Amino acid sequence: MPIPQPRDNESQNEFISRCMSDEKMKSEYTDEDQRYAVCASQFAAEKVSFDWDGTGSTAKGKEMIQEYIDKGADVYIITARSSKAGISFPGIEADHIIATGSNKAKIEKVIELGISKHIDNNENVVKELGDIGELFRTIIYNKNNGIFR
């Protein structure tokens, strides 16, 4: 069950009130103290994940990952690769690097972990994630024809 995520510019009190009154949360966490703890932990640190190949592995992607780490976000690398061999990033623990084996499993893992933003270069993954997904694009300027892509 996805846990509610803080919205942009939503105060901690507003978020916790919304989270505590969420019907799915009420049914999953019937004890109010437990529900409050879960809601408060969701507000504490933004959970952000990056795809690796074509996203986190690029210079721009690495820069973005570092910016999120510096802001105190809880950063994950979630890839459709079948192995996480060769994937590492300073400041990201090994258990925050997850190889799922497919895009479908990657989407499921992002939702399961309660990720608030997933950055990926795969348009289908981003579309499937809805508001959680953010399309990663590198801007390349071809000086021969003046075209950006």
Average pLDDT in the chain: 87
Whether 105 contacts 79, CB under 8 Å = no
- For residue 107, what are the domain limits? 47-141
Q: Are residues 91 and 19 in the same domain?
A: no
Q: Are residues 29 and 78 in the same domain?
A: no
CA nearest 55: which of 44, 46, 68? 68
Distance CA 22, CA 3 (A): 9
Res. 1 pLDDT band, cuts 50 70 90: low
Instruction: Indicate the number of domains in the chain.
Output: 2
Look at residue 139 in the predicted model and tell me its pLDDT.
57
- Detail the DSSP E strand segments found in 1-149: 47-50, 74-79, 97-99, 117-120, 133-135, 141-142, 147-148
Residue 7 lies in a domain: no
Res. 132 pLDDT band, cuts 50 70 90: very high
Whether 85 contacts 91, CB under 8 Å = no
Domain with residue 79: its CATH number is: 3.40.50.1000
Res. 77 pLDDT band, cuts 50 70 90: very high
